[in-house]
Every structure is written in C-alpha cells, then in structure tokens.
Structure 1
Amino acid sequence: MDDEILIGEGVLLDARPASFASRLLGSLIDLLVTGVVAFAILLLGVTAGQNLDAAAGSALGIVLAVTVMVVIPTTVETLSRGRSLGKVAMGLRVVRDDGGPVRFRHAVVRALVGVLELWLTVGSVALITSLVHPRGKRLGDMLAGTYAVRVRGGQRPLPPLVMPAELAGWVRHADIRRLPDGLALSVRQFLGRVDGLHMASRVRLGVELAADVERYVAPGPPPGTHPERFLAAVLAERRDREYAHAIAVARQAAVETALVQRLPHAVPDPAS
C-alpha cells in the first residue's frame, strides 16, 4: 500500500498523508509567521540601507529576500526535522518517502522550489499539485522525495482486552507458544475494530486469524468456540502471563541487588 512504510526491522508502519485542509491551515500559519519575520527584517533592512547607494541597497534587498524565502525555511525544517510552527499546530511532519526524517538537502530542495511555486506564483502551483497528487505532494516534495504525514490526532486507543469467562479455565492451562509479532498485532487491531467492520469481512478475518493463532495453542479451544472469543482469550492470557513474568523478573532483580549490596563475612550492615 502507498501509505505504508517498511522500516529496517521489516515492520510495516501506517503513515497516512496529511489531509489537504490540515496542510492548508498549517501553511497559512507558517505564512503568517513568515510575514511577521519578513516585516521585522524589512524594517531592519530599511534602517540599515538608508546610508547605502543604489547597488548596495539592491544587494541588501536580495540578501533579505533569500533569507526569508530560503534560509529561514531551510533552517527551521532541518533543525525541527520537518516540523515548522504551522505543522506543529496541526499535528503534521514532513518526512522522506521511506518514513525517515528530512535532512538538510531535503529542506534546501523544498525551499528552493518553494520560491517558484509558493512565492512567485502566490502558492497557486503548490495548491494545484497538492490537490492532484495522491499523497498531497507539491513540486518541492516531488523533487526532494518528501511528503507531509499526520503524527497525532488520528489514532484512537483500542478498547482493553477482556477475558471471556467461559474460556478462562481452558486458556489458563493451555500451552501458548510465542505468537509472531505481526500476527499478534493483526489480532489486536482486529479485536479493537470489529464493531466498525462489515459483517462479511468481520467473519472472514475472524476465521482466518483464529486458524493462524490456533497453530500456536495446544490443546485447541472447546468445540463451538466463537473465533473472536478464542482470539480474545489467547491475547488476554498472553498479556497476563507476560505481566506476571515481568513482575517475577523485577522481584528477582531486587533480591539479587540486595544480596550484592550486603557486606561480606557476616559484617553487619550499617544502620540506615
């Protein structure tokens, strides 16, 4: 899928492109901030250029324009790893096509192309290309290999897992081998979103996931067990066992730490 990123560990991450409305609002915020900064720089330039000749004044104007249109956007995106003030406000970030953070070269390309598509054309070129491109890319993004993604606001927490009462006795004594991370994640996401699935898709996914998980569980569930109840029981028991194991490990570490800190040869510990 175009909205998935394969990281080095072989895990697919869902990185949804930012909506047009959020990108537009973020750009307007950035434009407002840039306008304030440009006005302040312009005042300083006018003050500094009062005693300069025409050639020096033109050179100063070019320097100020380059600073506002290229240097400032490049510096902000490089230091913030793709998060300007407007993008922070809208919960967005500019990332590379592979999901990694933008670097200096990406920020420079975006800023240089932005002179044409944002400043010289009053944003019309960027508006058209972002509307047409499936990921909402403008020309600078196409050349730099970047795009804007949502980093907050779209994910809802999944409901907690509940152990089915009728399967608690069976699963407590079942042998559950380690589930592959991808399978466990798929089951967790399925159980958290079953109410929003079409019934046919819900049944098909439930049966398929239950068949995959059952290969790691022995003995199998009681006859007639609903696939969703079976999946919930396995994941809830898996969670409880991992929690109990973590508690036991922490207690053992505390005991070993206390033994190491004790003085040798029956020397009494100093009073605390």
Structure 2
Amino acid sequence: MPPTALPSYSRAPLSSEQPSAAPLDTRFHVETPEAIDLVLRPAGLVPRALAFSIDLAIRGAALGVTYLVLGLLGQFGMGLATILLFLVTWWYMVLFEVLNQGRSPGKQMLGLRVVHDDGTPIGWAASLTRNLLRFVDILPFGYTLGILSCLNHSAFKRLGDMAAGTLVVYRDTPPARPNLPQAEAARAPFALNLAEQRAMLGFAERAEGLSSARRAELAAIIAEPLQVPAELAERRIHGIAHGLLGPT
C-alpha cells in the first residue's frame, strides 16, 4: 500500500507587501504658516474632563455668591442674575480662551490650552464655534456625543473642535536650565572643538546627579590634557564650563 501523501501547506512569505499596523502616537505634527514644524501633544478625555469640571465649579461658586447678593434686590436683582447666568454660561470659556492664550482657569491648572489645528492661537470665531456647539456635544445627556467623539478621534477632538478646527493640547514648558557647580570661570589650555565643549558642559550640568566617586573617575580621564592633578580635574572642568557659558 503506497504511503499516504501528506498535504503540503505553503506559508506566505513575510514581505513588505503585507500591511502593518500604524504605530500608536500621541504627537500631532503640524506646520505653521511660517513653515515651522511643531509637535503638539493632544490632551485626552480625562484631563479635559477634569479641566471642565474645575471651570464648572468656579462658575457655580461665582454664580452662587452673585445670586445671594442680587437676591437682596428682589425681582430686579433676579433679572440681573438671569442676564449674568447667560453671560457666564456662554462667554466664560470664550473670553478666557481668546484673552488668556487658549487657557481657561481649569485648563491652566491642568497645563492645557486650545489652539487652531495649525498650532496658532485660537481666535474669536473658532472659540465661539467650539463653545456654542457644546449643546450638541452634551446630547443626549452627560456629554455622551462629546465623549464618544473624543474616544474615536486620533487627536481626541469633540464635535465642537472638529467644526471649529481647534485642538486641545498640553502646554509645554521650557526645560529648566541646570545649575552648574560654583567655580571660577577658566579657559581650557587648548582649543576645544564643539564636541569637547558639549562634553565639558554636559559633565558640569550632570554633576549633581552623579556620585563623588563617579565624578572623580570621569574627571581623572582628562586630567592630563587639562594639565592638572587628578584631584583638581573636576573643579577645573567646572571652571571651563562657566567660561564657556560666560556671564549669566
């Protein structure tokens, strides 16, 4: 009886023809009208909800105190309170976003701001559009449409942001300049190229995060070129770093 032939299975080769999933990215790359590339970090649903809750609490507290005061004026006071309620409800966010670099108090506490899609500061028309359309995002209740929109958009936009062409992003703060150890400014005994200058500055900037033994080990490596004893090399490097930076 002839042996039964085993079926052969062909495996598709791994090639570039097979589509690969796009990598996850929380960065939003834009090009400004001045042809400058910006990298923005869109804010997700949770920080945006927290910022909105803070703003809601501020408005509620302000209106509560105002109602108590205006209530003493009778019907005239209640009429003023109604007008104030309208102004606060629809203009609180707009005024802060336009006049405070896209930041309401809640956004400012969370380190967020609103910008146009191209990274430029938000204007009156865009701010009015995104805030007037909150009545759509709030449908059918509890910001259901707004939440679903944020969760399904790559840049976490709600419907108001889509219509206004705006984006809520994290406000990046410039990194703090590291403190250099105290030392008298000095010049290197030889001309330093760019890489050597960066090495000197890098050593001085990282000195606080290194142990004394590690600093002494690294400084001893270049003690001879600096023409100083190994135990004085670290202080010499700090002096050269101050000399490179100049007066600050």
Q: Which bin holds the TM-score, normalised by the shorter protein? A: 0.5 to 0.7
The CA RMSD over aligned residues, in Å, is 3.8
Conserved? CA contact 2:45–2:147, under 8 Å: no
> 1:169-180 alignment to 2 at 5 Å?
172=193
Among 83, 92, 96, the residue aligned to 1:63: 83
Shift of 1:116: 4.3
Q: 1:44 to 1:83 in 2, by over 3 A?
A: same
- The question of 1:23 aligning with 2:43 is answered no
Q: Deviations over 1:62-84 (max 9, x none)?
A: 52332121122221112112101
Among 93, 109, 124, the residue aligned to 1:89: 109
Q: Deviations over 1:17-75 (max 9, x none)?
A: 11222212212211111211222233344333x245xxx96x65652332121122221
SS of residue in 2 equivalent to 1:128: helix
Cα distance between partner residues in 2 of 1:118 and 1:64 = 22
Q: 1:38 to 1:151 in 2, by over 3 A?
A: same
Cα distance between partner residues in 2 of 1:118 and 1:44 = 31
Q: 1:126 to 1:45 in 2, by over 3 A?
A: farther
Shift of 1:149: 0.6
Shift of 1:95: 0.3
TM-score by length of 1: 0.50
Conserved? CA contact 2:70–2:81, under 8 Å: yes
Conserved? CA contact 1:69–1:111, under 8 Å: no
Q: 1:39 to 1:146 in 2, by over 3 A?
A: same
Shift of 1:101: 0.4
Q: 1:143 aligns to what?
A: 163
**How many equivalent residue pairs?**
165
Structure whose alpha-carbon radius of gyration is higher: 2
Among 22, 25, 31, the residue aligned to 1:6: 31
- The question of 1:100 aligning with 2:145 is answered no
Identity %: 29
SS of residue in 2 equivalent to 1:94: strand
> 1:187-226 alignment to 2 at 5 Å?
none
Among 112, 137, 141, the residue aligned to 2:132: 112
SS of residue in 2 equivalent to 1:98: coil
Shift of 1:15: 0.6
The farther-off stretch of 94-103 and 24-33 is 24-33
Structure with the higher fraction of residues in helix conformation = 1
- The question of 1:123 aligning with 2:123 is answered no
Cα distance between partner residues in 1 of 2:140 and 2:58 = 18
Q: Which runs of 5+ in 2 are unaligned?
A: 1-24, 179-189, 195-242
